[in-house]
Chains A and B, each alone.
Chain A
Amino acid sequence: QVQLVQSGAELQKPGASVKVSCKTSGYTFIEYYIHWVRQAPGQGLEWVGWINPRSGATHYPQRFQGRVTMTRDTSISTAYMKLSNLRSDDTAVFYCARGSSSGWYHWGQGTLVTVSP
């Protein structure tokens, strides 16, 4: 079965960077985009961007450009999201999700990133 398993919770200081992993299994990794979504405590969902695992191409909304970098390692079917220059308002749960033309059925369990001095 399709699974997306994310790395564990992180505590980082303002100005630092965090890299979250999303290890996939149960399907051919390069055939589906991976999207990342952020959810601040008690708030809604915010799309952070996608990566095409086949080509490595990425697309980010302007609010994250310059601070987010998405990469992948096809040899281990894993996608990564790095967010730099962290601020306190980056404290959130980050999810990866497998994209498809019929919706995002499969999600990771979420990774809590806490930014605190």
Chain B
Amino acid sequence: GQSLEQPSEVTAVEGAIVQINCTYQTSGFYGLSWYQQHDGGAPTFLSYNALDGLEETGRFSSFLSRSDSYGYLLLQELQMKDSASYFCAKMTTDSWGKLQFGAGTQVVVTP
């Protein structure tokens, strides 16, 4: 089964705020990354958390709680172009850069 769990789909209107939660299994955990992928495109890096707390990058923020094995991605001031799939990915300790991806959350932004 999937070692990272995230919701399959979220729908919101332009300008709204969306939070995508991700829970993970702790074995081999080094850090949690978030990637965005538009249909047919390559994943693009959004954020990374190795320590507890909030990382803010423009309209996107990511949070990690290692004690709860939980993280989230916060998308603020949603725009139509934010419609995409968002993946949380666990960076593992056995190889630098090796990622295990969650199933992905399809974010649909409506006018």
| A and B form one complex | no
